[in-house]
Amino acid sequence: MISCLIADDQAMVREGFGALLAAQPGITLAGLAADGAEAVRLARQAQPDVVLMDVRMPVLDGLAATRQLLAAGHSGPKVLMLTTFDLDEYVYEALRAGASGFLLKDAPAAELVHAVRVVAGGEALLAPSVTRRLIADFARRPRPASPACPGAPGGRGALLAGLTPREAEVLTLIARGLSNAEISGTLVIAEQTTKTHVGRILMKLRLRDRAQAVVFAYESGLVTPGE
């Protein structure tokens, strides 16, 4: 079962999403939060697998709440950011903070359910057509002085050096937004082999999931926009 917490300051949104997810097989509702502070408190109590986190909320915004939840490292929940705009400024920082992806609030119900399952499994980034554009735009932005992404400057080179040539190739394809199936087709390898490579990449680079792998690949210079 996948337990899910929904944090949104609009009652209609959080209750509607809550009812939708609670009706799905294999998904349970861990709670509803009206602001970021409440989301952090409920998440620490209920320990959900996935938190749907609105970007803009009172008391504590979604970005600050995400940072608090994921400060402990890999023990935190997967965070799926909810946003009204596909290129919301906060989404870039959310990815650096460790969020696993994002979803537009006006996405179809089936896409929301799929997104929760995908994030829970750590299989891929969400909304490929939008995500790839976001990644390219994100990568063009100036790097922060102290990135929240694991492997800060000075340590990234050493971590990358620990990858095999095949793993570096897989990481490059992940950064371009390819799914496991697409990577397998591109490299002509079995999908289980791709999954094994992805798992080893995340372990060696000390990353939570593929979203952080994308950020790492761009900020380390392994991949540059337009390639």
Give the number of domains in the chain: 2
Residue type, 58: P
- pLDDT score, position 222: 87
Mean pLDDT (the chain) is 83
pTM for the model stands at: 0.72
- pLDDT score, position 210: 81
Residue linked to tokens 């697409």: 182
With beta carbons less than 8 A apart as the criterion, state whether 126 and 102 touch: yes
Identify whether 97 is part of a domain.
yes
Identify whether 105 is part of a domain.
yes
Identify whether 140 is part of a domain.
no
Question: Is 153's pLDDT higher than 50?
Answer: no
CA 8 – CA 1 distance, rounded (Å): 23
With beta carbons less than 8 A apart as the criterion, state whether 151 and 159 touch: yes
Question: Which range marks the domain in which residue 187 is found?
Answer: 156-219
With beta carbons less than 8 A apart as the criterion, state whether 207 and 216 touch: yes
From 99, 121, 143, give the residue that closes a domain: 121
Identify whether 11 is part of a domain.
yes
197 and 108 share one domain:
no
Kindly report, residue by residue over 9-20, the tens digit of the pLDDT: 999 999 999 999
Identify whether 227 is part of a domain.
no
Identify whether 22 is part of a domain.
yes
176 and 106 share one domain:
no
Higher pLDDT, residue 54 or 148: 54
CA 144 – CA 165 distance, rounded (Å): 28
- pLDDT score, position 146: 43
Average pLDDT on 72-82 reads 78
Residue linked to tokens 């735009």: 137
30 and 103 share one domain:
yes
97 and 204 share one domain:
no
Identify whether 139 is part of a domain.
no
With beta carbons less than 8 A apart as the criterion, state whether 217 and 172 touch: yes
The backbone region for 190, taken as left when phi is positive above 0, alpha when psi lies in -120 to 50, beta otherwise, is: beta
With beta carbons less than 8 A apart as the criterion, state whether 89 and 25 touch: no
Question: Is 186's pLDDT higher than 90?
Answer: yes
Question: Is 138's pLDDT higher than 70?
Answer: no
Identify whether 127 is part of a domain.
no
- pLDDT score, position 132: 61
